[in-house]
Amino acid sequence: MKRVLVTSVVALSCGLSAAARADMPPPTGVVNLSATASVEVTKDLMSVTLSTTRDGPDANAVQTALKQALDAALTEARRAAKPGQVDVQTGNFSLYPRYTNKGVMAGWQGSAELLVEGRDMPAIAQLVGRINSLTIQRVAYGLSRELRERSEAEVTAQAIARYRAKAAEYATHFGYSGYTLREVSVNASEPPVGPIPMMRAQAMAMKEDAALPVEAGKAPVTVSVTGTVQMTK
């Protein structure tokens, strides 16, 4: 993990609130604070979607061809499957009629998908290279739940520490001796899962047992702390 970014903003709440009751004057010495901490984490989760399409005049023949292609890919994928490291599951399987421009049915077309996901990126890359009955449709990288939660915990501690330091600093600047918390919210942003679409011709060129090139990159994990504090004499 590298490059931690911390920012903060502050606003002093003073004056009479329009909604305040006449017999209950608005609080004074209330500060609105916001602190944000962010860290870049190397992505540790890889997801590959493989697919194929078939078409022909007979629905049963198209369906059989799709099943054969998917079964061949599953046979290879199950040999490499390791829970949490290389997980395999079937995806969309569809069959539908194909029509001409004049609306006349001209046959059947279908598609099948296989999804491979996990944290063992070299094993997934090797597996994808060995599957020759399907081609790569989509590649995506992200953070596993364990890494995301661990990173969020570290960044949350940084954001809260920054929030508390700013609260004490502004209390001193405004002539107060300390502060108490009024209300605070802590929010973590979900890092996006980055899809990398691949053209079918490119995917086919990588077959013949060639491993898929892998470069996961980094994802930001950001936590924001916002709320108000009451400065005290």
**pLDDT tens-digit map of 156-171:** 999 999 999 999 999 9
Which of the two residues, 48 and 203, has the higher pLDDT score? 48
Residue 8 has a pLDDT of: 46
Count of helix runs (H) and strand runs (E) in the chain: 4, 9
In a shared domain, residues 54 and 77: yes
Residue 226 has a pLDDT of: 96
Q: What is the mean pLDDT of residues 203-211?
A: 56
Mean pLDDT of the residues in the chain: 86
Residue 216 inside a domain? The answer is: no
Residue 23 has a pLDDT of: 62
Q: Which of 162-174 are b and which e, b meaning 16 or more Cβ less than 10 Å from the residue's Cβ?
A: bbbebbbebbeee
In a shared domain, residues 106 and 88: yes
Which of the two residues, 91 and 27, has the higher pLDDT score? 91
Which has the closest alpha carbon to 65: 103, 105, 107? 107
In a shared domain, residues 84 and 126: yes
Q: Of 82, 114, 142, which marks where a domain is finished?
A: 142
The total number of structural domains that make up the chain: 2
Residue 209 has a pLDDT of: 62
Residue 194 has a pLDDT of: 52
In a shared domain, residues 54 and 128: yes
Residue 189 has a pLDDT of: 84
Beta bridge partners of 53: 111
Least confident span in 82-91, 144-153, 173-182, 203-212:
203-212
Q: In Å, how far from its chain's centre is CA 106?
A: 41
pLDDT tens across 10-31, in order?
Answer: 444 444 444 445 566 667 889 9
In a shared domain, residues 52 and 138: yes
- Rounded to whole angstroms, the Cα distance separating 151 from 156 reads 8
Residue 199 inside a domain? The answer is: no
Residue 61 inside a domain? The answer is: yes
**Tokens read off for 117:** 């996901």
Contact 47, 139 (CB under 8 A): yes
Please report, rounded to a whole number, the percentage of residues in the chain having pLDDT higher than 70.
81
Residue 20 has a pLDDT of: 46
Structural domain boundaries enclosing 99:
45-142
User: Tokens 């569809």 sit at which residue?
Assistant: 94
For residue 129, pLDDT over 90 is answered with yes
Residue 75 inside a domain? The answer is: yes
For residue 72, pLDDT over 90 is answered with yes
Residue 12 has a pLDDT of: 47
Confidence of residue 210 (pLDDT cuts 50, 70, 90): confident
- Rounded to whole angstroms, the Cα distance separating 228 from 31 reads 5
Residue 195 inside a domain? The answer is: no
In a shared domain, residues 35 and 150: yes
Q: What is each CA distance from 188 to 6, 38, 57, 152, 218, in whole angstroms?
A: 14, 10, 53, 7, 17
Which pTM does this prediction carry? 0.73
